[in-house]
Structure 1
Amino acid sequence: MFAKGQTVVQLVEKLAPKHYAVPDDKIGLQLGSLRKDITTVLVALDVTDEVVEEAIRLKAELIVAHHAIIYRPLAHLQTDTPAGRLYEKLIKHDIAVYIAHTNLDVADGGVNDMMARALGLDVVGHLEDVHTDKLKKLVVFVPETHEEQVREAMFAAGAGGIGHYSHCSFNIPGTGTFLPSEGTDPFIGKPGKLERVREVRIETVVPQSAEKRIVQSMLKAHPYEEVAYDLYPMELTGRTFGLGRVGRLPSPARLDAFAEQVKQAFDVPFVRVVGDPAREVKKVAVLGGSGSRYVRHAMFAGADVLVTGDIDYHTAQDALAAGLAIVDPGHNAEKILKKHVAEWLQARLDEMKSSTRAVASAVDTETFRLM
């Protein structure tokens, strides 16, 4: 059985929820339809003509990419332009394109975490706050026989987290009453007879980002035909998610040696380095994509070096004067996501016993070449 396109996208959005994206980011379905079976999904950094040809060879019906193919509203669709020819080829071969950009950067296990792990960083924070999860309290009344089953289902779906503590709940025993109407099929009791049942009131904390999933899991685990539950807003806020990561190296390193480590970790042909090759670096800030705007964030975080792409000349001068080293592996260092996202997606598809396969693009979309 192959997964539908919408099912594949729902899996991607478990990894990278859409509300994590920065305002006005171009994410989501950009071309094609998800109302079809997906035999192969291709995970790519960019959607270039070469990547589309690869998708055609693989008979992929869906490309999940990091960088958008449509950045602004289209005034026309001319097929004699490079972009128009790309769209035409995708449409002719019925290949949909779905974009996960800054939401994938921000997410736990997303691009910035991938990059931090590749450098062996012990992460202690991020560079810029993007989203803080609002919290709600979920209260549900469960018969004593199913208390554990329902509580564990909610925890497994993401409920019960407060700070660094998980599986948090409060449980109060009591008596529930109900009178099933004619035509009902109650789990306990009979239609037309008032019932008194020993129940447990379970209270737990629910992050808004996982609210729908947690409620669905609770309802599925609950034995009652009609479930009594409440959701209350809370003043307490949940986790904050952000762009970039800040972390410490396992042991101090010279800048030149660390730059070589960056080059190897991200499999790039060259890096540009700002700073004294012999200086010692301990604390590292890393940000996928274009990071010129985050030099001050890195300095404020106390980083010795910022690893990011697309650093311009004057920003490099300012960083050097301020004592911040920079290692620029280029924007294409984000290609690290292809393998990791494809593997993550394949694992979720396998759990569903789906025959759909997720494949990492083998196309190198690096624009620059070192001469």
Structure 2
Amino acid sequence: MFAKGQTVIQLFEQLAPKHYAMPDDKIGLQLGSLQKEIQKVLVALDVTDEVVEEAIQLGANLIIAHHAIIFRPLAHLQTDTPAGRLYEKLIKNDIAVYIAHTNLDVAEGGVNDLMADMLGLSELTHLEDVHTEKLQKLVVFVPETHHQAVLDALFTAGAGWIGQYSHCSFNIPGTGTFLPQEGTHPYIGEAGKLERVQEVRVETIVTASVQRKAVQAMLKAHPYEEVAYDLYPMDLKGRVFGLGRVGKLPAAITLRELTQLAKQVFDVPAVRVVGDLARPIRKVAVLGGSGGRYMRHAMFAGADVLVTGDIDYHTAHDALAAGLTLIDVGHNVEKIMKRGVAEYLAKQLIKSDTQVIASAIDTEPFQFL
């Protein structure tokens, strides 16, 4: 059985929720419909004419890409323009396009974590914190007979995390009372008779991203016709998510050696480097895409080098003067998201017939001579 488009995206957004994205970022469904079965998903960095042809040949009817195909409101849709022809081809072949940009950069396991992993960095921190997960306390009253079943459902749904501790809860036994009215079908007792039941007050933590899922799981596991539960906002901060990563290499190497490593693991033919090639490097900052404006963030984090793309001339001079080395691996380095997202989504869809394929098309616009 093929997965519905909405199901595919719901599973993907467990990795990169929309609320991780930077303000005004062009993400989400940009073309087509998710109200259909998805035979194949093609994961791409850019949606070019060659990528669309690849999707057609493969029989893919959903493309998940990193870079948007619609950047600003359309004043018209003329099919004799390059963009118009692209949209027309997608529509005629019933291919939907979903974009995950900065939310995939911020996500744990997203673009920047992939970059850090490929360089072998450890003790990771963020280059810039951009999102703190909101926490709520979920309180529910459960009959003793179903106490463990409700707890298990909540924890399986992702509730109960405080920092790196899972299955966190507090449980208080007590007596619950209720009087079922006419027309009710109580699990315990009968209509018109006051009941006293040995119950447990369960308290646990839910994040904004799992709140709906946790509540639905709790309600499904709970035996009562009407479930008494509350959600309270909390001052306690949840996990912090951010752009870029800063980490340490296993051992210090020279800037020249790190440059060669970056070319190899990121599969790029050439890089631009700012700094003394003999300088020892231990602490590395990485940021996919255009990261020039994060130079000072890297310096503040104590990084020896910033590995990113699209460094402009004046930023390079500023870094040189400030003593920060730079490795410009190009914007196209973000192509590593194709493999990472495809592997993640394939695991999530393993019980369906929907296939996930990483695009084989190289969308690097530059040639290196």
**Pair in the same fold by TM > 0.5:** yes
Contact 1:291 1:308 in 2 (8 A): yes
Q: Deviations over 1:313-340 (max 9, x none)?
A: 1111111111111111111111111111
Aligned position for 1:88: 88
Aligned position for 2:352: 354
Counterpart CA distance in 2 for 1:76 and 1:259 is 45
Q: CA deviation at 1:347?
A: 0.8
Aligned position for 1:140: 140
Contact 1:116 1:123 in 2 (8 A): no
Counterpart CA distance in 1 for 2:307 and 2:185 is 61
Matches within 5 A, 1:180-259: 180-259=180-259
Moved more, 218-227 or 94-103: 218-227
For the residue of structure 2 that corresponds to 1:368, the secondary structure is coil
Counterpart CA distance in 2 for 1:243 and 1:123 is 16
Aligned position for 2:70: 70
Counterpart CA distance in 1 for 2:111 and 2:194 is 56
Structure 2: runs of 5+ lacking an equivalent: none
Q: CA deviation at 1:346?
A: 1.0
Structure 1: runs of 5+ lacking an equivalent: none
Which residue identity lines up with residue 143 of structure 1 in the other structure? P
Contact 1:43 1:342 in 2 (8 A): yes
Matches within 5 A, 1:169-188: 169-188=169-188
Counterpart CA distance in 2 for 1:100 and 1:161 is 26
Q: CA deviation at 1:370?
A: 0.9
Counterpart CA distance in 2 for 1:344 and 1:220 is 28
2:36 equivalent to 1:58? no
Counterpart CA distance in 1 for 2:191 and 2:339 is 56
Which residue identity lines up with residue 314 of structure 2 in the other structure? H
Matches within 5 A, 1:155-166: 155-166=155-166
Counterpart CA distance in 1 for 2:315 and 2:24 is 25
Aligned position for 2:364: 366
For the residue of structure 1 that corresponds to 2:145, the secondary structure is helix
Counterpart CA distance in 1 for 2:275 and 2:102 is 29
Counterpart CA distance in 1 for 2:22 and 2:118 is 24
2:305 equivalent to 1:290? no
Aligned residues: 369
Which residue identity lines up with residue 359 of structure 2 in the other structure? S
Counterpart CA distance in 2 for 1:259 and 1:221 is 54
C-alpha distance 61-326 of structure 1, shift in aligned 2 (>3 A): same
Contact 1:154 1:217 in 2 (8 A): yes
Which residue identity lines up with residue 363 of structure 1 in the other structure? I
Q: CA deviation at 1:192?
A: 3.2
Q: CA deviation at 1:117?
A: 0.8
Q: CA deviation at 1:19?
A: 0.5
Cα-Cα RMSD: 1.2
Which residue identity lines up with residue 356 of structure 1 in the other structure? T
2:122 equivalent to 1:106? no
For the residue of structure 1 that corresponds to 2:133, the secondary structure is strand
What is the percentage of aligned positions where both structures have the same residue?
Answer: 74
| Structure 1 segments (4+ residues) deviating >4 Å | none
